[in-house]
Amino acid sequence: MIGGVMIAVALAYLGVLFAIAYYGDRRAACGRSIINNPYVYALSMGVYCTAWTYYGSVGRAAGSGLSFLPIYIGPTLIAVLWWFVLRKMVRISRINRITTIADFMASRYGKSTSLGGLVTVIAVIGIVPYISLQLDAVSASFMLLWRHPQATGVPAITPGGLDTALWVTLGMAAFAVLFGTRHLDVTEHHEGLVAAIAFESIVKLTAFLAVGFFVTFVLFEGPGDLFGQAQQEPALMQLLTFSDAMLDYGEWAWLTGLSMLAILFLPRQFQMAVLENMDEQHIRKASWLFPLYLLVINIFVLPIALAGLITFQGQPLDADLYVLGLPLMAGSELLALFVFIGGLSAATSMVIVDTVALSTMVSNDLMMPLLLQLRILRPGERGDYGGVLLAIRRVAIVAIMLMGYVYFRVTDTTASLVSIGLISFAAVAQFAPAFLGGIYWKGGTRAGALIGLIAGFLVWAYTLPLAALHSISGAPDAFLLNGPWGIAWLRPYNLFGLTGMDPVAHALFWSLFVNVAAYVGVSLFTQPTVLEQGQAARFVDVFDYASNSDAVFLWRGTATVEALRSLLERFLGAARTERLLDDYAHRRGMDWAATQQADAELVQHAERMLAGAMGAASARVAIASVVQEERLSMDEVLRILDETSQVRAYSRQLESRTQQLEQKSRELEAATKELRAANERLQELDRLKDDFISTVTHELRTPLTSIRAFSEILYDNPTIDVERRTRFLEIILKESERLTRLINQVLDLAKLESGAAEWSTTEVNMANLIGEAVTASSGMAAEKGVQISTQVENEPPLLVWADRDRIMQVMLNLLSNAVKFCPAEGGRVSVEAARQGQWLVVRVADNGQGITREDQKVIFDKFRQGGDPRRGRPQGTGLGLPISAQIIDHFGGKLWVESTPGEGATFVFTLPLPVDDKQ
Amino acid sequence: MPGKVLIVDDEANIVISLEFLMEQAGYTVAVARTGEEAIEKIDSFHPDLVLLDVMLPGINGFDILQRIRQHFAPHEIAVVMLTAKGREVEVTKGLALGANAYITKPFSTRDLLAEVRRYLEPGEEHETLTN
């Protein structure tokens, strides 16, 4: 294929990435992020899949079957824990404005510049082999494609002359510089970068699936055919099974564990998953989307490997290049070009993100602290240090890329991609003890972290890269076989006589063993500094800190606002400093003009702002240069912490006490209300009772007055004429009767109302009862010339359950009232009884003058009588109707009056008929 | 000097007894059964003394008393309250509103007559008559 075309396509592809990144940044600037969703987040994590996955998995599968898988099983397993672990990392990083994993470690262990520097060194050294892997893969694939079709299967690298790998290195370095160092503040999200990486994840996945489809369904006739052909070869069959020969369970376990750590601590994974996270909620979805991505991209690994083995039998093509070789072999150059681009995307995404992360570490956690501490940079002087930071980063990128190139050149060029990658994995795994310990164990100290890291790293270096250097020639030399100076227990692959392990597993075992032991051991025997303790609490209990304002300020010293401002300006620029400080003042209602001395909070705020650009450790050094800090003794710190916690505990107590009191007062209020209501009811009852007694007294006095008056008159006038004497005596008798009746009724009503009345309930035939009542009233009616008519529906008999005497009392009362209110001439009373559904309805109607609407309301009240006052009070007690109503009510019925004034009144009562009375 | 007595009560039998007593004592008698009737009779009949029941339908005895006192002093029209409500407050209220006397029902006819004579025949000796 023409090299120019390939280069043009590759450059075009990189151009597209730039366009996407530019678009992403533009959108972010407008506040319309294209990456703020869980899908882009999960795709950006796909940076995990590099050329190693793209080319190397097939190579690994061709050599040892399914053993390519643990590297994907590990991340899949740990994704289950992301919601707890990753979310905590994200939260801590956001709150502390963490810029890199080195910054994270430095910040946790008391903003230690030495720890940040150490982590940086380990990361750089650890990642260099990984970068060389990408260079290897890209240049090999480039060469394979370029030379096609003249020399398929020729080793990819031309010695000397045109050094493809160097050009690839320089090209990628240039791209990474252009791409990765556009911004200064590394805590601001690189939205463009993330968008481009997500896009690359799609490209490499699509390309790999395309070649997988092509191989499986075009070159072969589907998976059945492919696996069928493979079965002809016993050697190939072994690749497909979990046979003991092909599979070392121990190795599987080690690789799975290793990749679990790698997915958390690889600088590029930390960058994408932690620092570029926009929303903690995205982690939820990503924790199944990302494993799904891994699954899909691995589906065709085995078919391609088998197809390669079958197709290139006996040819010297590196199995790592089957992915590209197969379409080329089939003459599908366009697909091959697409596959090359896919591989390029896998490599560039890794290189870009890792170099961005590493260069940030180098500038923030290694160079800046050095420059500040060595007084090469003096924060007190004028000057733009932001530019210095960027320059350092750019140089760092180029240097790292060149180191990768050198590693690529000096190490065994025939080593598989996977084995190179695993060396890097093992290096970053050294971060695990101090990192995980740092976010879950407050006891971890800076010294423990430093010594653990150094020990683990040294063991790693000795057992992996150093050992690798000693097998450049392809065969292990005496150093490997016999150990240095012939000391057998120092053999790099068999340290302390440990045998039977794969070199990576062996290295991982020993390095992590000494790392953890040193970290825990030293931590237990060292005293953390004040700052370390504060940071430990901020990290471990990150979810307990609602916000920064909740944090304890363990700082005492003096600084002027002016000094802080000029310091910030030098690193962040005047405009940004102005904006940040104004925001701060606005939030706290401060006025800069009136503030000269910075308080602890402002100093910490400035430090955090600075940390965003240069890392926590550097920021600390920079701040220290303008602040007169007073060292706090341990006792003082403990006192401050103690006071703070006491104040918090006290305020919590107060709060709960207040709530209790509020609750109590609410209860009291409710109780008071109830009491008041009860009291009012009682008073009302009392008043009613008083009224009743007063009324009864009045009603009793009235007949008594007449009786006494006429008795005295008759006594004083013995000679009074007979006619008048008779009349007066009659009045006396009538009033006596009235008095008796009144007393009886008052007692009766009292009994009814108190519930003390005795009832003898029997079956009452209403027709008979009405008949008797009418007969009993006939004398009184005749006296007034009133005619009583009855109309009783007694078929079947109207039977009710009631007290016969009581119902009789009601009937007599209603009849006497009716007669009483009839007109003097032509008075008529009609009595009707009928059934209505389940009710007996009795109506007693008169043709008197009726009852006014007002009177209708009160006649059932005690001692209230209707009628025209001009005609004098009718003879009655005013208790008949209330008593009748009580009686009817007792038997479940109702008593009421219907009347139109001038047209008589009808008193109606109902009584329930027995339910079994069906008719 | 014979006087004019207005009886205001809604109890027919009490009115009859009072009418008898007053006529027997030689007074001219008029009867009112409601408050409205009483006010009308005061204007038309010009009584010297009113026997006034408190519990009346419509305008009650205290209202009537107030109206009387708006126009007539106690020596112009004497008012003797008659009431079945014997509570202290009622007595105090009646006297405060300007009643000349307050008699509780049931009353002694002799006491009532003595009280009436005290206002209608002030110069005479009543002690002998009460017995």
CATH number for position A902: 3.30.565.10
pLDDT value for B18: 94
A298 and A69 in contact (C-beta within 8 Å)?
yes
Tokens representing residue A876 in the block: 């009655």
End-to-end distance of chain A based on CA atoms, in angstroms? 109
- CB contact, 8 Å: B105 with chain A? yes
Closest CA to A145 of A337, A326, A8: A337
Q: Do B84 and A708 touch (CB under 8 A)?
A: no
The pLDDT tens digits for A609-667 are 777 777 777 777 777 777 766 555 556 655 655 666 666 677 778 878 888 888 888 88
Cα A531 to chain centroid distance, Å, stands at 31
Using CA atoms, how far apart are residues A740 and A698, in angstroms rounded to an integer?
15
d(Cα A810, Cα A808) in Å, to the nearest integer? 5
List the CATH number of the domain containing A723: 1.10.287.130
pLDDT at A713: 92
Is B8's pLDDT higher than 90? yes
- Taking CA–CA distances from B14, the nearest residue in chain A reads A706
User: Do A457 and A553 belong to one domain?
Assistant: no
- Flag if A705 and B105 touch (Cβ within 8 Å): yes
pLDDT at A594 over 80: no
pLDDT digits (tens, 9 = 90+) for A207-222: 999 989 888 888 888 8
Interatomic CA distance for residues A125 and A504, integer angstroms: 17
- Say how many CB pairs under 8 Å bridge A and B: 78
Q: Looking at the predicted structure, is the pLDDT value of residue A495 above 80? A: no
Is there a single domain that holds both residue A553 and residue A535? Answer: no
Segment A231-259 mean pLDDT: 72
**Average pLDDT of span A316-327:** 81
From chain B, the residues in CB contact with A696 under 8 A are: none
Provide the CATH number for the domain around residue A247: 1.20.1730.10
Residue of A473, A409, A430 whose CA lies nearest to A129 = A409
A718 and A815 in a single domain? The answer is no
Average pLDDT over residues A838-855: 86
State percent of chain A over pLDDT 70: 83
Mean pLDDT of chain A: 80
- Statement to judge: residues A569 and A678 lie in one domain: no
- What is the C-alpha to C-alpha distance for residues A368 and A113, in angstroms, rounded to an integer? 9
What is the complex's ipTM, to 2 decimals?
Answer: 0.90
Does A555 score more than 60 pLDDT?
no
pLDDT in tens, A784-834: 888 888 888 877 888 888 888 889 989 998 998 888 888 888 888 999 998
Residue A297, in any domain of the structure: yes
CB contact under 8 A, A709 and B107: yes
Q: How confident is the model at residue A452 (pLDDT cuts 50, 70, 90)?
A: very high
pLDDT value at A844 more than 50: yes
Peptide bond into A149 cis (omega under 30): yes
Q: Say how far apart CA A403 and CA A125 lie, in whole Å.
A: 9
- Please give the structure tokens belonging to residue A646: 């006491």
Q: Is there a domain that residue A295 lies in? A: yes
**Same-domain status, A310 and A173:** yes
CB atoms closer than 10 angstroms to residue A261: 23
Element (H or E) spanning A215, and its range? Answer: none
Same domain, yes or no: A95 and A206: yes
Q: Provide the domain limits for residue A724.
A: 652-749
The answer to whether the pTM exceeds 0.90 is no
Q: Which residue has the higher pLDDT, A236 or A13?
A: A13
Q: Is residue A436 located within the same domain as residue A558?
A: no
pLDDT for position A469: 66
Mean pLDDT of chain B: 85
Q: Where are the domains of chain B?
A: 4-120
Query: Looking at A542, A574, A602, which one is the last position of a domain?
Result: A542
If DSSP codes are grouped into helix, strand and coil, which group holds residue A895? strand
**Whether A869 and B109 lie within 8 Å, measured CB to CB:** no
A518 and A616 housed in the same domain:
no
C-alpha A438/C-alpha A443 separation (Å) is 8
- Binning pLDDT at 50, 70 and 90, where does residue B128 land? very low
> Cα separation of A697 and A692, whole Å?
8
Please give the biggest Cα pair distance in chain B: 40
State percent of chain A over pLDDT 90.
8
Kindly state the average pLDDT of the residues A230-245.
Answer: 67
Q: A600 and A454, same structural domain?
A: no
Tens digit of each residue's pLDDT (9 = 90 or more) over A858-898 = 777 766 655 444 444 455 667 888 888 888 988 888 998 88
The total number of residues shown for chain B amounts to 131
Task: Tell me if B14 and A734 make a contact (CB, 8 A cut-off).
Answer: no
Please tell me which residue, A195 or A490, carries the higher pLDDT value: A195
Grouping H, G, I as helix, E, B as strand and the rest as coil, residue A20 is helix
Is the Cβ–Cβ distance between A111 and A616 less than 8 Å? yes
Of B21, B56, B84, nearest to A705 by CB-CB distance is B84
CA angle, residues A433, A438, A441, in degrees to nearest 5: 100
Amino acid, res. A917: D
Q: Are residues A584 and A703 in the same domain?
A: no
Average pLDDT over residues A167-182: 79
Structure-token pair, residue B121: 């025949």
Task: Dump pLDDT digits (tens) for A708-760.
Answer: 999 999 999 888 899 999 999 999 998 998 888 888 888 888 888 777 778 88
Ramachandran quadrant class, A678 (left: phi over 0; alpha: psi -120 to 50; beta: rest)? alpha
CATH: 3.40.50.150, 3.40.50.2300, 2.60.120.10, 3.40.630.30. Which one for B4-120? 3.40.50.2300
Q: Do A723 and A765 fall within a single domain?
A: no
Residue A792 resides in a domain = yes
Inter-chain residue contact A706 with B34, CB threshold 8 Å: no
Indicate the number of domains in chain A.
Answer: 5
Examine the pLDDT at A669 and tell me if it is beyond 50: yes
Q: Give which of B15, B17, B20, B81 to mutate to test A binding, by max A Cβ within 10 Å.
A: B17
Strands A761-765 and A787-792 turn out to be: unpaired
Averaged pLDDT for residues B24-38: 91
At residue A148, the 3 state secondary structure works out as: coil
pLDDT of residue A147: 73
Chain B CA closest to residue A705: B106
Q: Find the closest chain B residue to A704 by CA distance.
A: B106
Provide the pLDDT for residue A820: 85
A479 and A575 together in one domain: no
pLDDT of A407: 82
pLDDT at B30: 94
Residues from A contacting B (CB-CB < 8 Å) are 694, 697-699, 701-702, 704-710, 712-713, 716-717, 724, 728, 731, 734-735, 869-870, 872-873
The per-residue pLDDT for range A248-258, each reduced to its tens digit, is: 677 788 888 88
Report how far residue A453's alpha carbon sits from residue A433's, in angstroms, rounded to the nearest whole number.
8
